Structure 1
Amino acid sequence: MKLKYLCHRKPERTFSVRGHYFPVCSRCTGIYMGAFAYFLYAYLTVIEYDITLIIVALLMMVPTFLDGFTQLLGYRESNNLLRFSTGLAAGVGMGILTKALKYFILHL
């Protein structure tokens, strides 16, 4: 299976367990886990999507952008825990936006 299009998979930026690396980097791991957790939560509870929740979702993605962009520019070097935690928040934010988009499409 070709996962190279989903993530760069650099070993130094990827979690490993007993020498076996995850299929995606730590940031993508956080994003996927955050989105999955939100989708599970949204399946189990009723959520009213409004502009406030959408703004919160967008703000949840800002730390991931800042972490990745400042690292890309060479201002600093991130670590896997920071990549994972900012990815986790971004994943939840992306999950909210995805569900909000579905909500507004179906209820217009």
Structure 2
Amino acid sequence: MKLKYLCHRKPERTFSVRGHYFPVCSRCTGIYTGAFAYFIYAYFTVIEYNITLIIIAFLMIVPTFLDGFTQLLGYRESNNVLRFSTGVPAGVGLGIITKAIKYFIWTLL
């Protein structure tokens, strides 16, 4: 299975263990880890989705956006630890937004 549509997979931006690279870059690894952790947490916990939680979820994505955008514009060079550490909260935020959308769709039906 080719993962080229999920991530750019540049070796210099990807974690490696003993010469074996992860299937996605460090930022995507953080995003997937954060989202997966949130989905597990949400499975075992009752969560009240409201506007405050959704705003917090969007704010959790901002550091990842700023890290990626400032790097894209050439203002600075990010590193894998920073990419991962901004990716984890973004993954949690995306998980919250995904579950909130599902929650509101099921409430309307």
TM-score relative to the length of structure 1? 0.99
- Hey, what does 2:103 align to over in structure 1? 103
What SS does the corresponding residue of 2:66 show, helix, strand or coil? helix
- Hey, what does 1:64 align to over in structure 2? 64
Amino acid at match of 1:20: H
- Hey, what does 1:19 align to over in structure 2? 19
What is the CA-CA distance between 1:87 and the residue it aligns to?
0.5
Structure 2 distance, partners of 1:95, 1:85, is 16
Which contiguous aligned blocks of 4+ residues in structure 1 show a shift greater than 3 angstroms? none
Map 1:69-108; keep pairs closer than 5 Å: 69-108=69-108
Aligned length: 108
- Hey, what does 1:36 align to over in structure 2? 36
Structure 2 distance, partners of 1:104, 1:40, is 19
Spell out, residue by residue over 1:74-106, the C-alpha distance to the aligned partner (whole angstroms, 9 max, x if none): 000000000001010100000000000000000
Structure 2 distance, partners of 1:107, 1:72, is 40
Structure 1 unmatched runs, 5+: none
Structure 2 unmatched runs, 5+: none
Structure 2 distance, partners of 1:98, 1:85, is 21
CA RMSD of aligned residues (A): 0.3
TM-score relative to the length of structure 2? 0.98
What SS does the corresponding residue of 1:107 show, helix, strand or coil? helix
Structure 2 distance, partners of 1:68, 1:19, is 25
Structure 2 distance, partners of 1:83, 1:74, is 15
